[in-house]
Amino acid sequence: MDELLVHIEGIGWWTAQATDWAAAAAQLRGEAAPAAPATKPAAALLPPNERRRAPEPVLLACEAAAQACAMSERDAATLPCVFASIHGDLAITDAMCATLADDPLQLSPTRFHNSVHNAPAGYWTVATGCHAASSATSAWHASFGAGLFEAAVQALADATPVLFAAYDGRAPDPLGAVVGTAPAYANAFVLGPARSARTLASLRLRHEAQPAPAADAAHDPLAALRPLFAALAQAGPSYMRLPAGRASALAIEVLP
């Protein structure tokens, strides 16, 4: 099989200027101006205690994932999930490395268990009571394309709807100065394996052994994704290529 055909049943979105997909879609269609910046995602599905203490990437990923599940009317507890991120939690990496350089015996146990790349998947599955497979992935600046492809593979291999979420938080210096800093964002899809009454749009995905046009992913990971989400906002057909690896791309055809 060269192509994977999957069907979007729900979309989640969070940036400071658009805290859900309806707001983002209106802005992408040029019908609304960016909202006054929000400070952090509501992530209302997390218990209040955890919401207060949870790291930013957990809030981002859980907020977008919850929106996508709600739109799809699927039970989040039943959905395998794939959480993709370029960097993981750079704020925790920064704090841990600073402590390790200073006095390693003072490392915080909570910070350490929150430092795993699958922290958002962990918090998500606990909050939703999800016993299905959960994954946490990265492919550096190809993280969205490679993660989306993996989610589509899971949906088709087991004929099951799958939750896909992509997120990255802010990067504090001095780490940020090296890896690049961008505003926090998260987006999510519920992907169905077959077209149904729930289908909002379909995606035809093909992994190609030619590189995608270079995007400035370090400084704005969302820039490369804008054509995809703009096509979804306009409910029109579209074709784009996103980075999927060092010398490969994910070709995406949006079929309304």
* Contact call for residue 113 and other proteins (CB under 8 A): yes
**36 lies in the site for other proteins, by CB under 8 A:** no
Q: Which stretch binds other proteins (CB under 8 A): 18-26, 27-35, 167-175, 195-203?
A: 167-175
Closest separation in Å from C-beta 228 to other proteins: 18
- For the record, the structure tokens of 143 come out as 């993280």
Residue span binding other proteins (CB under 8 A) among the ranges 11-19, 171-179, 196-204, 224-232 = 171-179
- Residue 146's nearest CA partner among 229, 46, 250, 230 is 250
* Residue among 83, 37, 35 nearest 63 (CA): 83
Q: List strands edge to edge, sheet with 201-208.
A: 81-84, 162-168, 185-192, 3-15, 201-208, 248-255, 238-245
Is residue 5 involved in binding other proteins (CB under 8 A)? no
Q: How far is CA 125 from CA 63, 67, 149, 154, 177, in A?
A: 13, 15, 21, 17, 33
Residues composing the chain:
256
Asked if 132 touches other proteins (CB under 8 A), the answer is yes
Closest to other proteins by CB, 41 or 117: 117
172 binds other proteins per the rule CB under 8 A: no
The single residue listed with the structure tokens 């606990």 is: 126
Binding mask 71-90 for other proteins (x = CB under 8 A): ------x--x----xxxx--
Please give the residues from 39 up to 58 whose contact with other proteins meets the rule CB under 8 A: none
Q: Specify the residue, 12 or 243, whose C-beta has the smaller distance to other proteins.
A: 243
For residue 94, the Cα-to-chain-centroid distance in whole angstroms is 22
- The four Cα atoms 16, 17, 23, 29 give a dihedral, to 10 degrees, of -140
Beta carbon of residue 130, minimum distance to other proteins (angstroms, whole number): 6
Is residue 4 a contact residue for other proteins (CB under 8 A)?
A: yes
Residues 139-158 that bind other proteins (CB under 8 A): 139-140, 142-143, 146-147, 149-150, 153-154, 156-158
Among 35, 179, 194, 215, binds other proteins (CB under 8 A): 179
The residue within the footprint of other proteins, chosen from 44, 97, 223, 235 (CB under 8 A), is 97
Residue 181 sits in the site that holds other proteins (CB under 8 A): no
Strands 185-192 and 162-168: antiparallel
- CA distances to 17, 161, 256 from 78, in Å: 31, 9, 26
Candidate list 7, 51, 74, 117; residue touching other proteins; CB under 8 A: 117
By C-alpha distance, which of 116, 139, 127 is closest to 207? 139
| Token representation of residue 49 | 């205690």
19 near other proteins, judged by CB under 8 A: no
Q: Does 214 bind other proteins (CB under 8 A)?
A: no
Distance in Å, CB of 24 to other proteins, minimum: 26
